[in-house]
């Protein structure tokens, strides 16, 4: 996959008469993305490798390399926008003009320095307009299909990938119900995620959902749909963009919370919520209406209209 991508990029660079360089970040990618991805599944959480890759590889290692070469800015093909707000003295991350292709969710973890040196040329265009331009200039990737799923797992078999990249033993354990009654055996916690219904490998006569993954007991709790519905979550590993932090002096009446629209996964719809600062750099997020399958390890991203306020990693829900 990566070699084909390099070939495609070189053909485009040649077509546009641009210099072309390949930088090998395999070691950094393994350390920052692959090892994180594997460890999160081993801990019973569902990771978001694209967010981590953006922060540490594309917008840290790559940007640092560019700066060392005398390059002032990097440009990527993400569908998002960056603007400088004079009244806030901050760079803002905004949604793409075309919301159905918007990728700002995956970029919430970028720093002010990274945003100040980033250009998103596609943020003002629709996907069709981009393809039309590529066809107009006869770029060889004009009809290339959109990328899907996680780029470094070709067959989308996450469990298999984790097994192949860890020395840890993947042990079978018990499925239990909400009361702790044993329902059957699971094949290892790496194969499951909160909210999952299909592919559990157990028949109970009615739809059952993964409610909780308990790494310490190696148990997976199953329940009804109502058991994966929550109105509150706790998030950590926070990064704020449109404000310095959640308890900034310029936020009035923070004890009453900060109103936002929150998104609990890339494919989820935004939902009105109030966020409250907690100790140890965490926040509590109270949704106006119940949310389905709030999943530890995934990112929750906060919006104020078109603007990304910030986000964090989901720790728990209730």
Strands 173-176, 219-223: pairing kind: parallel
The token pair at 183 is 């329902």
Residue 170: alpha-carbon gap to chain centroid: 25
3-state helix, strand, coil in the chain (%, to 5): 30, 30, 40
User: For this structure, is 151 an active site residue?
Assistant: yes
Pairwise CA distance, residues 48 & 266, whole Å: 9
Distance CA 267, CA 315 (A): 19
Q: Return all residues near 157 (Cβ < 8 A) that are at least 6 apart.
A: none
Distance of alpha carbon 214 from alpha carbon 190, whole angstroms: 11
The Cα 61–Cα 69 span in angstroms is 13
49 touches 36 (CB < 8 A)? yes
CB atoms within 10 A of CB 318: 9
Catalytic residue among 12, 150, 151, 229: 151
**How many helices (H) and strands (E) would you count in the chain?**
8, 14
**Cβ atoms within 10 Å, residue 185:** 12
Q: Which residues contact 219 (CB under 8 A, 6 or more apart)?
A: 173, 174, 175, 176
Phi then psi dihedrals of residue 73, to 5 deg: -135, 155
Which of 38, 51, 52, 53 is an active site residue?
Answer: 53
Query: Which residue has 């978001």 as its token pair?
Result: 48
Residues marked as catalytic: 53, 151
């Amino acid at each position: 996959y990566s070699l084909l991508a390099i070939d495609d990029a070189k053909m485009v660079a040649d077509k546009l008469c641009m210099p072309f360089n390949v930088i090998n970040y395999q070691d950094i990618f393994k350390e920052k993305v692959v090892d994180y991805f594997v460890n999160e599944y081993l801990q019973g959480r569902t990771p978001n490798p694209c967010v981590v890759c953006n922060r540490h590889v594309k917008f840290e290692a790559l940007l640092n390399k560019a700066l060392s070469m005398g390059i002032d800015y990097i440009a990527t093909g993400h569908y998002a926008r960056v603007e400088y707000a004079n009244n806030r003295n901050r760079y803002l991350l905004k949604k793409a003009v075309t919301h159905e292709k918007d990728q700002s969710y995956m970029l919430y973890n970028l720093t002010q320095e990274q945003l100040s040196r980033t250009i998103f040329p596609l943020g003002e265009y629709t996907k069709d307009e981009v393809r039309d331009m590529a066809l107009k200039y006869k770029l060889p990737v004009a009809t290339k299909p959109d990328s899907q799923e996680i780029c470094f797992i070709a067959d989308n078999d996450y469990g298999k990938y984790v097994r192949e990249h860890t020395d840890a033993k993947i042990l079978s354990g018990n499925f239990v119900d909400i009361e702790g009654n044993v329902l059957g055996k699971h094949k290892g916690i790496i194969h499951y995620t909160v909210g999952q219904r299909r592919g559990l490998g157990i028949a109970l006569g009615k739809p059952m959902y993964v409610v909780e993954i308990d790494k310490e007991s190696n148990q997976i709790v199953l329940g009804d749909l109502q058991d994966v519905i929550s109105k509150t979550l706790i998030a950590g590993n926070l990064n704020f963009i449109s404000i310095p932090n959640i308890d900034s002096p310029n936020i009035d009446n923070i004890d009453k919370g900060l109103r936002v629209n929150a998104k609990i996964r890339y494919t989820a719809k935004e939902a009105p919520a109030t966020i409250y600062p907690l100790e140890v750099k965490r926040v509590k997020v109270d949704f106006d209406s119940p949310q389905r399958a709030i999943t530890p390890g995934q990112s929750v991203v906060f919006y104020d209209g078109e603007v990304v306020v910030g986000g964090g990693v989901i720790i728990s829900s209730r």
